[in-house]
């Protein structure tokens, strides 16, 4: 009979847990090479990386994040706080963040704030207990306690989706106000004069779009607060249809609608079809975010394309720079927006 294979090295800990040093000894490399390989860093020599992976598999090694955090003061993960996972724009952003961080050896730990400042504060407290290497947070509207936590945590932080004039705040995004103003000006240029603004959720970025809408109409001398519909319920296609029907009952002279998000606008277009309201002849309809399906609506939806993927990638790159101890060239990166002009206006 062939001889039995040699047993794996003995486990020196009383717990019997295989350590990183055990993997390094079996692979014949340094512990730092094991650490870099298992974090997914691509700078490790492929031959050494293969030996490390083979040794880790043989020993059934599972990294201990808590031990790694204690050894390095911070862990190998980045905490990401976003308002909702059901909103497609944050899914696009998260995918870009993960694609950028993983090759550098970082995992993402996601927290959902549900647009609640208090919930965001509690999530941040919990995340900081795990010693993240960095933070990515949505917006710049945190409450005072959350701002204090971030300022005194010693953890690098980048804000997403908005811009700040504060040089102490690193951020990647675009001007929500300018985008709201631009799409409203487009409707004015199309000859529309009774332009409504329909919004849901009412988070700070939505309200900034409302400010841009007002700015454009006030400059034209056409602002009428009776044409605003601000609903705190979560944004959805069904709500968009409901709000359009309500608007047309109460303001029959309305000739255009700027919806704060594409799901509302898509629901509005379907409601117009049911009601026999011709778009764009009788009513122009515009949305925001250029979500999936907007270009397939009947008629295709005019909207504001926002660079969610680019924001995710650029913010992760900025955070990697901060985590290396480097100072980014700019504290605020404006990636802009684009009007997608289609048949609905």
pLDDT-wise least confident of 3-7, 20-24, 72-76, 213-217: 3-7
The pLDDT confidence band at residue 5, using thresholds 50, 70 and 90, is very low
- CA 243 to centroid of chain Cα atoms: 27
Q: According to the model, what pLDDT value does residue 12 have?
A: 46
Q: At what angle do helices 46-59 and 31-38 cross, to 10 degrees?
A: 90
Please name which of 174, 195, 194 lies closest in space to residue 183, comparing C-alpha atoms. Answer: 195
The pLDDT confidence band at residue 11, using thresholds 50, 70 and 90, is very low
Has this prediction a pTM greater than 0.85? no
Q: According to the model, what pLDDT value does residue 18 have?
A: 83
Q: According to the model, what pLDDT value does residue 74 have?
A: 55
The pLDDT confidence band at residue 37, using thresholds 50, 70 and 90, is confident
The answer to whether the beta carbons of residues 287 and 259 sit under 8 Å apart is yes
Mean pLDDT, residues 90-102: 94
Instruction: Reply yes or no on whether the pLDDT at 259 is more than 50.
Output: yes
Please name which of 185, 163, 141 lies closest in space to residue 304, comparing C-alpha atoms. Answer: 185
Mean pLDDT, residues 71-93: 82
Instruction: Reply yes or no on whether the pLDDT at 105 is more than 60.
Output: yes
Instruction: Reply yes or no on whether the pLDDT at 15 is more than 60.
Output: no
CA angle 104, 141, 209 (to 5 degrees): 100
Three-state DSSP at 164 gives coil
The CA-atom distances, in angstroms, between 191 and each of 22, 188, 215, 281, 342 are: 73, 5, 17, 11, 16
pLDDT-wise least confident of 62-76, 83-97, 112-126: 62-76
Mean pLDDT, residues 175-192: 98
Mean pLDDT, residues 120-137: 92
The H or E element that residue 208 is part of is helix 204-219
Q: How many CB atoms lie within 10 A of CB 147?
A: 14
pLDDT-wise least confident of 56-65, 143-152, 226-235: 56-65
Three-state DSSP at 16 gives coil
Tokens of 90: 């944050």
Q: In this structure, are strands 338-340 and 303-305 parallel, antiparallel, or unpaired?
A: antiparallel
Q: b vs e for 209-239, b when ≥16 Cβ sit within 10 Å of the residue's Cβ?
A: bbebbbbbbeeeeebeeebebebeeebbbeb
The H or E element that residue 159 is part of is strand 157-161
Instruction: Reply yes or no on whether the pLDDT at 225 is more than 90.
Output: yes
**Beta strands per DSSP E along 293-337:** 303-305, 332-334
Higher pLDDT, 194 or 19: 194
pLDDT-wise least confident of 30-44, 268-282, 292-306: 30-44
pLDDT-wise least confident of 68-72, 126-130, 233-237: 68-72
């Amino acid at each position: 009979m062939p001889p039995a294979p040699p047993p794996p090295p003995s486990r020196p800990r009383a717990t019997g847990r295989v350590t990183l040093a055990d993997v390094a000894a079996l692979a014949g490399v340094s512990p730092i090479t094991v650490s870099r390989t298992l974090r997914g860093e691509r700078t490790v020599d492929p031959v050494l990386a293969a030996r490390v992976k083979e040794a880790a598999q043989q020993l059934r090694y599972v990294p201990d994040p808590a031990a790694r955090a204690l050894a390095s003061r911070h862990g190998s993960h980045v905490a990401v706080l976003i308002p909702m996972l059901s909103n497609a724009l944050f899914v696009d952003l998260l995918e870009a963040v993960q694609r950028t961080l993983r090759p550098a050896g970082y995992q993402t730990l996601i927290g959902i704030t549900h647009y609640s400042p208090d919930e965001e504060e509690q999530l941040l407290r919990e995340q900081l207990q795990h010693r993240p290497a960095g933070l990515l947070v949505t917006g710049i509207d945190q409450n005072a306690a959350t701002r204090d936590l971030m300022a005194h945590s010693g953890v690098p932080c980048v804000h997403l989706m908005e811009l700040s004039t504060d040089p102490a705040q690193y951020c990647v995004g675009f001007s929500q106000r300018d985008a709201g103003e631009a799409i409203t000006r487009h409707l004015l240029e199309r000859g529309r004069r009774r332009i409504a603004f329909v919004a849901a959720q009412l988070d700070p970025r939505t309200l900034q779009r409302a400010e841009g809408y007002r700015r454009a109409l006030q400059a034209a001398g056409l602002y009428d607060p009776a044409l605003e519909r601000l609903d705190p319920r979560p944004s959805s296609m069904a709500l968009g249809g409901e709000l359009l029907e309500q608007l047309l009952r109460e303001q029959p002279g309305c000739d255009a609608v700027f919806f704060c998000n594409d799901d509302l606008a898509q629901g509005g277009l379907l409601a117009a079809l049911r009601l026999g309201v011709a778009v764009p002849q009788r009513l122009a309809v515009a949305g925001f975010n250029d979500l999936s399906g907007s270009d397939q609506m009947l008629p295709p939806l005019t909207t504001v394309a926002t660079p969610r993927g680019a924001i995710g990638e650029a913010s992760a790159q900025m955070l990697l720079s901060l985590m290396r101890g480097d100072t980014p060239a700019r504290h605020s990166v404006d990636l802009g927006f684009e009007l997608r002009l289609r048949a609905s206006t």
